[in-house]
Amino acid sequence: MGTLAGKHLVLGLSGGIACYKAAELCRALVKAGATVQVVMTEAAEHFITAVTLQALSGRPVYTSQWDSREGNNMAHINLGREADAIVVAPASADFMAKLLHGRADDLLSLMCLARPLERVPLVVAPAMNREMWANPATQRNVAQLRADGVRVLDVGQGDQACGETGDGRMLEADEIEQDLEALFTPQLLAGQRVLVTAGPTYEAIDPVRGITNLSSGKMGFAIARAARMAGAQVTLVAGPVSLPTPRGVQRVDVRSAREMLQAVQQHVDAASVFISTAAVADWRPQSAAEQKIKKDGSGQTPALAFVENPDILATVAQSPRAQSGQLFCVGFAAESHDLLAHATAKRERKGVPLLVGNIGPSTFGQDDNALLLVDASGARELPRAAKTELAQALVQDIARRLPPKIH
């Protein structure tokens, strides 16, 4: 299970059209294993019903500070004390101004004001028109709320309900969920800069054909996400895959092995950890045809000459920063058989402190995997689990291995 499993979250809704996204967020948080208690303002009830949120959360919704269901009639105290975090999504411009000035004239604002500051974080997801968001008053309020310890999330950019386009949209449910996961994740990589490669490479034969492999990139993307949640600044160099970019991760798209090497060399000097998960093609055609190679009816096959691609992992591992311990390198090996023997040999050949092996045919394109961690002292298995869970376990393992001068 993820970091939200077992957490108790209060989801507050202030008035705004983005209340419809709160329904999706509520469902996502429950699916992630959290219990969700919904609190709505009167304005929010104009946009979505309490019945909808009750059905999605599986708990009665609170809308009034005078709710008689609480034995002491202090819902604003009780609900906040029970929470691991309070999340206000959407947070209107008016509600954020209310928070800033300590106004407490409804249940949601009362609860936010009365929460234990040291124990219950307050997260707000702004949602408003682009002009309202850009207004100096709103920007002052956001800056002061952050200075006061409130976690004010970024806003999205795009089409708005009013017909305008710009900043101010509430983040999507999955983006808010990722930010909440990071909130509860130990910041083991805080201050680190992590460079990850992921996915396959593609080596062109002609304009319409090429050599690639079955790597989906899911493991590498999961590692990038886990590293970011653990507090690292993450750059992800991705081969040709269509996966969404993990929130907060800088992505660089490439196609061929040489393009991937170039991108890695541009970013590795700033990194303290390099994780090479990409399935890079070992060879490429010596030259790609300018036009599509066609059959001529003779039955003869085209003659293709191959050259070896650069070894990205070995190149980085042999660099002065890696050799001096300033850069911690982790390699991956996707094998078809004899995993331990091949992974052990590859670790020694590449010169990396940690080599992660897996059986490629049983994991390509799948959402789960099993990993073998090989280092100088031996090997340790991470049994089959979701790639997101394995990524978190691997990030924790890497954090423990970082030398003091990096960590």
The catalytic residue among 19, 26, 112, 162 is 162
CA atoms within a 13 Å half-sphere pointing along the CA-CB vector of 286: 5
Phi, psi of 381 (to 5 degrees): -90, 140
Query: Which residues make Cβ contacts (< 8 Å) with residue 195, sequence separation at least 6?
Result: 234, 235, 237, 264, 267, 268, 271, 273, 274, 275
Task: With beta carbons less than 8 A apart as the criterion, state whether 62 and 107 touch.
Answer: yes
Tally of CB atoms within 10 A around 125: 25
Structure tokens at 80: 């906040």
Using CA atoms, how far apart are residues 215 and 11, in angstroms rounded to an integer? Answer: 38
| Sequential DSSP letters for 136-164 | HHHHHHHHHHHHTT-EE---EEEE-TTS-
Using CA atoms, how far apart are residues 261 and 402, in angstroms rounded to an integer? Answer: 24
Known catalytic membership, residue 19? no
Task: With beta carbons less than 8 A apart as the criterion, state whether 39 and 79 touch.
Answer: yes
Cite the active site residues: 162
